[in-house]
Amino acid sequence: MHPIQMVDLKGQYQKIKTEVNNAIQNVIDSTAFIQGSEVKDFQKELEQYLGVKHVIPCANGTDALQIALMALDLKPDDEIITTGFTFVATVEVVELLKLKPVIVDVEPDSFTISPEAVEKAITPRTRAIVPVHLFGQCANMEKLQDIADRHNLFIIEDAAQALGTDYIYRNGARKKAGTISNIGTTSFFPSKNLGAYGDGGALFTQDNALAEKIRSIANHGMQVRYYYDRIGVNSRLDTLQAGILRVKLKHLDEYNQAREKAASFYDAAFKRHPAIRIPARMPYSTHIFHQYTIQISRDGREELRKSLAESGIPAMIYYPVPLHLQKAYAHLGYREGDSPVTEKLCKTVISLPMHTELDEEQLRYITDKLTGFLS
């Protein structure tokens, strides 16, 4: 059996090595390292894949969130509602921009932001909601859009973990995650479903005026060269990364299907186990399993993790501490009990190896060891 990894980037690279190496060599031969033609080509191809009018590539997913907020003309202390069960980037950029993060709870099945909690948290200062399509599945966008419409709020979707996921409307229509609301953001961090060989990110929007503004902010606030219309940042996608991403975008659906297949194997092995809760599949979203995350409904998660590690099975806790209880955000004044679902998830979840290269022998070994330990 091949050694089991949390994410197997090497195995994936081996299969596309020639294509990727050629793409890298082409960029080096052109020496157009900054804003070379691959960046524009990748932008166009991703626009087509997502069915969105505008993709604006940038340096990473955190920058994408920051630029999205900068494009909304907010004022200090304007409130941005998001969740504490996610990566730190959202609340971090809100704070950096001197806005106020309002951290609300998630739903127990989907792990995504609770529309009811959002509604309760709205004040006259609320300006935007930032749902995170966590672990590969969309938040409940129709309910959130309804709230946003009634209160005149922006929505920025963080699709860093959901590139390729379909949102499914009640009438059956579909849209790609990140293209549903005012602005979507994503990350091409190597372990993401569409991962570069370094950092990368992008913003999506259907709105022409917003797109122009976002493009300008990502480029020092410039529209005409050396004339600065607004304060911006320097956030570009590397040409080398764009060349690599063009190769990998062609495989994205196949990669997401491979993850889905591994997830189905896990589901079948765990679904009747009394101590394991498998990830729910919500009716309004497909799932591309950026993470396969189960809940252990009894004590001993740390022992389980150790025992798996001793058997050569890596597993990770995404996320061990809710953002509202992190030291850096203590000044926000949240207490234990403010987001009970998030707090419980942080104590009970464990994410299993999930990538495009898992084979049946590995999956059987993982599921046998795990159910063996919990029997």
Ligand X SMILES: *Cc1c(COP(=O)(O)O)cnc(C)c1O
Q: Is 218 in the site for ligand X (CB under 6 A)?
A: no
Tell the smallest beta-carbon distance from residue 372 to ligand X (Å): 31
Tell the smallest beta-carbon distance from residue 86 to ligand X (Å): 5
Tell the smallest beta-carbon distance from residue 328 to ligand X (Å): 16
Tell the smallest beta-carbon distance from residue 58 to ligand X (Å): 9
Q: Does residue 26 sit in helix, strand or coil?
A: helix
Burial label for 100, CB within 10 Å (0-12, 13-18, 19+), is: buried
Backbone angles phi, psi at 222, to 5 degrees: -100, 140
Q: Is 293 in the site for ligand X (CB under 6 A)?
A: no
Cα-to-chain-centroid distance, residue 279: 16
**Gap between the Cα atoms of 54 and 40, Å rounded:** 11
Among the listed residues 176, 26, 154, 43, the one whose alpha carbon sits nearest the alpha carbon of residue 99: 154
Q: Is 237 in the site for ligand X (CB under 6 A)?
A: no
Contact 137, 284 (CB under 8 A): no
Amino acid 158 reads: D
* Choice between 86 and 239, CB closer to ligand X: 86
Q: Is 160 in the site for ligand X (CB under 6 A)?
A: yes
Tell the smallest beta-carbon distance from residue 124 to ligand X (Å): 28
Q: Is 50 in the site for ligand X (CB under 6 A)?
A: no
Q: Is 163 in the site for ligand X (CB under 6 A)?
A: no
What are the CA-CA distances from residue 316 to residues 129, 302, 326 (Å)? 28, 10, 19
- Give, in degrees to the nearest 5, the angle at Cα 77 between 71 and 83: 80
* Choice between 93 and 269, CB closer to ligand X: 93
Q: Which of 4, 8, 60, 148 is the binder for ligand X (CB under 6 A)?
A: 60
Residue nearest to ligand X (CB): 61
* Choice between 202 and 276, CB closer to ligand X: 202
Instruction: Tokens for 217, please give them.
Output: 């902010």
Binding site for ligand X (CB under 6 A): 60-62, 86-87, 89, 132, 158, 160-161, 187, 189, 199, 201
